[in-house]
Every structure is written in C-alpha cells, then in structure tokens.
Amino acid sequence: MKLNTQLGAMEMKSMVSFRDDSPELTRRDALVLRNQGVQKVLSIEQLAQLHAARLARFARNGVDRRLWGRLNGCNGTSCPNRVCSAACVFGERREINRLTREARRLLKGGERLWSVTIIDPNYFREPGRLGDFSMNGMFQALRRRIREAPANWATAQAVGAIDIAYNRERDGMETWAPHVHLVASIDAGREEIREVLKPRRSPPPNLVGATFRPVKAKPITNLANAISYAQKSTIDGRGAILDGRGNTDRRPLRVPDAAQLEHDIWLLGMRPRDRSFLSGAMVSRGGVVARKRG
C-alpha cells in the first residue's frame, strides 16, 4: 500500500523532462508504468541481454564498427554519447517509457479513447529494402487525413509509432510490413475513425485479401498499456495461413537472422523517438503538452 501511494504521488507531479536521463528517473518511469498495468516493462538485466545480442550481431556480420562502436559504452546509466541512437536498447526504452508516462498523463482525461492500427501495403518493402521505406511519407499522409477530418476532430489527440512486421505469404513471398499503431482521444465512433484514417491509395492486390481492412479500431481498457504497445520496437514475424472459413490469417513466425540484422542497421540511422507520431500533442522541454491537431 505504501509503495502504491508513493507511485501515485510520482504520477501526480508535474511533467517529466525528456532531457533528464538519470538512472533514478529512468527507474521511476519503469515503476510508475508497472503500477499502471503496463505488461512489458523490461528490467535492466533484460535490456542488457538484448543490447549485448544486438552488438554481437553487428560484430558477427562485419557491420562497420564506426557505425555502432559507441554503443559499447551504453549500460543503462546516464547516456555517454552526445546523441542517442534508436539502436541503443537502453536509450530507446528510456524514451518509450518516458513518452508512455507523459502521454498517459495528457490523454487520461480525454474524450473517447481508441486503440487504432493503420496498415497501408503501399509502404511494404522487400527484404533488403527496409531502408527505402519513407517514415516521413507515411507520417505526412496520416497528418493530411487528420487535417481533412470533420470538425468534431478539432480536439483529437493521438500518440503512437511506426511498427515494423515481417510477413511471409502462403506462396513464400516475404515483405517488410510497416504500419502505424495509435492511441487516440477522438469524439468519434469506430466507423468514422476507419473512414477518416483509411489510406487514400488502393493497396497492391497481391498483398491483400478480399476481406482486408486497412484500419482497425477498438476501445481502450488500459491506457498506459495501450500507449506502451503502440510504441513497441520489436519485430513481429507473421506467417500467412488459411483459417476455417478460407480467409487469410496470421500466426507467429521466427524472423530470419538476416532480417533481424537489417532492422538493427535501420535503427542505427535514427534517434529513439524518430518512429513516434503525435497529433494534437507535442514534446516540450518539460514533457508532452497539447497543441493544435495535425
């Protein structure tokens, strides 16, 4: 009871700065999120294992050490580098946890809360071409659709990120499948959300089935957990199968080692929050604050 009271007091305090990378605040972020029911808050030991495995992949596959050598100094304490990289497991998780905590504080008093997934197969890429994918293009198209939304979206707020999946179709074709997860406070129903956020371009017919839905929306039951999931950075492998009704479904697939390495190298060129998307909100010096939509 005493611990829960202390954690509640932490959450009631003013906004948390994204410039503070101290171990104390990093641990506090994790404690607050666990208290709020976030399912996957990794320990420092788990993060260290993931970080070591990523650096080992770089070394084993002969990736130019000048691109990743500085990550050897990262261990979960204050960042030793001038600019943090999305390939640093510690730094990326710190930023995700901080954004999750701050975004929950902003959205928890909002309107109807929705978990939204947007899939636009026009952004899918072949293995070896993940670097050709334009995050900026995907974000700009999404912002355009939000700006063109009906008047009741004027107070809408959303936070999320681009997630990368690795798909294998029934014919053996493999693709990178970037998509967007959002947590949104919107005064709108499910069908309106689907219509407003639906990508404007038709998807390539060889990448979708007859029942393909580009936008999925469902009400949120745990806000902090939904925001954390929307920011996740791990690759989900998904293999296509036929369900009992003859429709294409997906089951877990082991991501090939070459694809995992390609994803790691892709992250090397980014900062921890480059994948993140905010609309009706922005990151300020002190935390996440409201702003005009779009």
Q: Which of 99, 121, 138 is the last residue of a domain?
A: 99
pLDDT tens digits, 48-70: 999 999 999 999 999 999 999 99
Quickly state the pLDDT bin for 14 (edges 50, 70, 90).
low
Domain shared by 95 and 120, yes or no? no
Q: Give residue 17's pLDDT.
A: 75
d(CA 256, CA 131): 17
Q: Is residue 278 part of a domain?
A: yes
Q: Which of 51, 77, 99 is the last residue of a domain?
A: 99
pLDDT at 183 over 60: yes
pLDDT at 37 over 90: yes
Of the candidate ranges 98-102, 205-209, 217-221, the one whose mean pLDDT is the lowest: 205-209
Q: What is the pTM of this model?
A: 0.90
pLDDT at 206 over 70: yes
Domain shared by 93 and 111, yes or no? no
The whole-number average pLDDT for the span 147-165 is: 95
d(CA 90, CA 68): 14
Q: Which of 99, 133, 167 is the last residue of a domain?
A: 99
Domain shared by 91 and 114, yes or no? no
Q: Give residue 5's pLDDT.
A: 46
The residue segments making up the domain with residue 198 are 107-256+274-290
**Which comes out higher in pLDDT, residue 242 or 114?**
114
Q: Is residue 163 part of a domain?
A: yes
Domain shared by 146 and 251, yes or no? yes
